[in-house]
Structure 1
Amino acid sequence: MDRCVVLVDAGYLLGASASLLAGEPSRSRVMVDHTALIASLRERAEEETGLPLLRIYWFDAAPERRPLPEHRRLRVLPRVTVRLGALTRAEGRWVQKGVDAAMHAELSELARNRACADVVLVTGDGDLLPGMMSAKEHGVAVHLWALQAADGDFNQSEDLVGEADERRVLDRDWITRSVSLREQLPPFPSSGPPPEIAKILAAPPASPRPAAAETPAPPAEPEPSAPHKVVPTPKDLAGRAQAHVQPAPQPVAPAAANGPVLRWSSDRGYVDRPAEQPCAADSLPTLAQLTTAEQRWADREEDITAIGGDPHEVGQVFARRWTERLGDKERLTVIWSDYPRIPHKVDGELLRYAARFGLLAHKDDQIDEHDRYAIRAGFWKELAARVPGGEQIVVDD
């Protein structure tokens, strides 16, 4: 059919962009505007092939093949399909598995089914050579796109370059429309040692002291024999009287008498709250208790198709559903007395909901501290706009 398809190896595209802009192939060194990047790919593909776009396939890897926030943002864009391989740890570095095989299978299937007339490949891996040859045998024109290399040389397999029908290079100007260098904090200047320490370090080494003439040591006098020590038997120990000393009674601290004290950290400082005094907001129901089966299905549909997975957005979506289903917003006003503390059950439910969007660090499956802050900030911002009394609350984004 007279349509074009774009297959993108995200590891190659973003890694080569990082090499060009930051001097190293670490994707963490660059920031990507995925919406602008997809729009640029579509515009360039339709311009060069002269055909309308059928679809953009985005091939990437993720731990346990669970989509990360960037993958969730991509797959809700029109005409974009995300395919994920596995990201595993091997010999101290992350290695992607199954991405090349998935690209090969998709390329061969598209050509075999005559789903498109032209295919644009954004990759540099020579493992795709058999798939490229198979696509050409089925009458598909193959366009190979490369990214401008940092050293001015090829960053693609020469076999791919030789087999492609058309080849284009995406230069720095094209890349910087949607990819930018992430700013890094400058290293903290190293201050020298204190003056008194520097003076000691700068002093010349002391001259060696001349060796003194060795004098023979006087003969050791025999030690006097120690008196015989009597070791008490168990019978002697059992017969000894033991003194019974009663410790003086210690005054009971008020906090201990009233139970343990919980200390909450917030921008208002430390807030002490005795454990025996439950918070009024703890009696509020959780979102799960307020959600029907039909609403649960609708929530999942919205999560898959419309929620990008940004931590701040996740907190806002959760708060919106919670306030709407609680109904009586006056009932929620008690929550302001405990700000910034979220009721314990609701907070746990909020973090579990955020975990669905891949907001988990690779270590110990814990949500990153920065993401937790953003999730809760989004929660409070949404509540401030919906619940009476929230206009006095200032939430940092």
Structure 2
Amino acid sequence: MQRSAIFVDAGYLFAQGSTALTGNKVSRASLSLSARSVIEELKAFCLQKVQDCTLLRIYWYDGVRSGSAMSADQTAIADMDDIKLRLGFINGQGQQKGVDSLIVTDLIELARQKAISEAVLLSGDEDVRVGVQIAQNYGVRVHLLGIHPARGSQSPTLRQEADTTSEWDKLTVEKFLSLRAAAGSPATPEATVSQAPDPVIEPAPAKVVQSESVLIASVASSFVAGLQEADLQAIEIFWKDNRGVPPEFDGKLLAQTAEKVGRRLEKPEMQELRSRFREEVNRRRSR
């Protein structure tokens, strides 16, 4: 039986997808991914590229900070059928590490075990080329998928090594990736941290006073109003097995509230903010 597998470098998808949408690379924290839509698009591409071939599964490669929970996007992806989430790590500079070696290892092992005859690879890194070469030696055809402009975002030697090359344009990317509406200050690559910056050294109160409680509620409401429908769906999935605010939203939410209050938040204020976040998400989802 002819079988295929799809290998997705999420770092490439977000970075180059944002470039296709806006003309520039945008912080991942500012992007909203529809997990269901991107998986449907990947399956449709694979079916079009390798007809009469059964899909084994989709391998989704991403990074996570040491000691941090998976993001809502990652949880949504992992929760879907036919998906295998494989995680590398993100270092202190916000760089994704270990992902390329995971792709290479899986590609080679599946080829060696004759588990697949066709592979669709969404990536651009030169480091995965050796995996392509060895898989081809085992008889696997490798179809490289890029995002416009693919020639500018993928290694030339990787493109030359692949059996076929294809490209997703902006219209395709818009089906599953979008910019989040600005709910405050722009997101940064460090937005996944769970601690807000300390803008002033003014002491914080032991409990939440009424005026600040109103301000906290206002920030939470504005923040949630800026989330996309795909974000809300991912958050609901995240809450099935986790508590609190997903890490990709938590740091940004804390930072925006600290800026409004004019100082670092005390623990009771953080707890109230996160509780307000949950209330606002539930309110939007119940409409």
Which structure 2 residues correspond to residues 43-82 of structure 1 after superposition, within 5 A? Answer: 43-50=44-51, 51-64=53-66, 66-82=69-85
Please report how far the alpha carbon of residue 76 of structure 1 lies from its aligned counterpart in structure 2 after TM superposition: 1.0
CA distance in 1, matches of 2:148, 2:158: 16
Which segments of 5 or more consecutive residues in structure 2 lack a partner in the other structure? 186-205, 217-232, 255-263
Matches within 5 A, 1:19-38: 19-26=19-26, 27-38=28-39
Which of 348, 354, 359 pairs up with 2:243?
354
Shift of 1:154: 2.5
Larger Rg: 1
User: 1:97 deviation in Å?
Assistant: 1.2
Aligned-partner residue type, residue 42 of structure 2: L
Q: Measure, in 1, the Cα distance between the counterparts of 2:207 and 2:90.
A: 44
Amino acid at match of 1:167: T
The answer (yes or no) to whether the contact 1:122–1:144 under 8 Å persists in 2 is yes
1:24 CA drift (Å):
2.4
Choose the corresponding residue for 1:375, options 268, 275, 278: 278
Q: Deviations over 1:103-122 (max 9, x none)?
A: 11111111111111100000
Deviations 1:283-330 (A, max 9, x none): xxxxxxxxxxxxxxxxxxxxxxxxx7616983xx79xxxxxxxxxxxx
Cross-structure match for 1:279: none
What is the correspondence of 1:378-397 to structure 2 with a 5 Å cutoff?
A: none
**2: CA distance, partners of 1:263 / 1:186:** 23
- Shift in alpha-carbon separation, 1:377–1:56, aligned structure 2, 3 A: same
User: Which one of the candidate residues 162, 168, 174 is aligned to 1:176?
Assistant: 174
CA RMSD of aligned residues (A): 3.8
Secondary structure at the counterpart of residue 58 of structure 1: strand
Does structure 1 residue 111 correspond to structure 2 residue 111? yes
Counterpart residue number, 1:138: 138
SS of the equivalent of 2:95 reads: strand
| Corresponding residue for residue 88 of structure 2 | 85
1:33 is displaced (CA, Å) by 1.0
More helix by share: 2
- Alpha-carbon distance change, 141 to 368 in structure 1, aligned in 2, over 3 angstroms: farther
The one-letter amino acid paired with 1:39 is E
Partner of 2:228: none
Corresponding residue SS for 1:310: helix
Shift of 1:96: 1.1
Q: Is the 8 A contact 2:79 2:237 kept in 1?
A: no
Unaligned runs of 5+ in 1: 188-259, 270-307, 319-352, 382-393
1:45-76 deviation line (CA, Å, top 9, x unaligned): 01211112111111011111642111111111
- Residues 5-14 or 17-26, more deviating: 17-26
Equivalent residue, structure 2, for 1:16: 16
Contact 1:4 1:46 in 2 (8 A): no
Which AA in structure 1 matches 2:76? R
Counterpart of 1:310 in structure 2 is 235
Question: 2:7 is matched with which residue?
Answer: 7
- Letter matched to residue 79 of structure 2: V
What is the aligned length? 233
2:97 and 2:108 map into 1 onto residues whose CA distance is 19
Please, which moves more after superposition, 355-364 or 52-61? 355-364
Q: Is the 8 A contact 2:20 2:173 kept in 1?
A: no
Q: Spell out, residue by residue over 1:81-106, the C-alpha distance to the aligned partner (whole angstroms, 9 max, x if none).
A: 1111111113xxx1111111111111
**Aligned residue type for 1:361:** G
Query: Quick one: which amino acid aligns to residue 90 of structure 2?
Result: L
Deviations 1:145-190 (A, max 9, x none): 11112xx843100111111001111111211111123334799xxx
Q: Which has the higher contact order (CA 8 A, sep 6+)?
A: 2
- The answer (yes or no) to whether the contact 1:312–1:376 under 8 Å persists in 2 is no
- In the alignment, what sits opposite 2:121? 121
SS of alignment partner, residue 354 of structure 1: coil
Structure 1's 139 and 355: CA in aligned 2 closer, same or farther, altered over 3 A?
same
By how many angstroms is 1:31 displaced? 2.0
Query: Hey, what does 2:100 align to over in structure 1?
Result: 100
User: What is the one-letter code of the residue matched to 2:129?
Assistant: L
Task: Quote the offset at 1:9 in angstroms.
Answer: 0.3
Q: Secondary structure at the match of 1:146?
A: strand
How far apart are residue 368 of structure 1 and its match? Answer: 9.1
Q: One-letter code of the match for 2:56?
A: L
Residue of structure 2 equivalent to 1:331: none
1:220-259 matched pairs, under 5 angstroms: none
Question: 61-70 vs 10-19, which deviates more?
Answer: 61-70
Q: Structure 1 residues 183 and 373 mapped into 2: Cα distance closer, same or farther (>3 Å)?
A: same
CA distance in 2 between partners of 1:126 and 1:14 (Å):
18
Secondary structure of the corresponding residue to residue 80 of structure 2:
coil
Q: Amino acid of the residue matched to residue 45 of structure 1?
A: C
Paired residue type of 1:375 = R
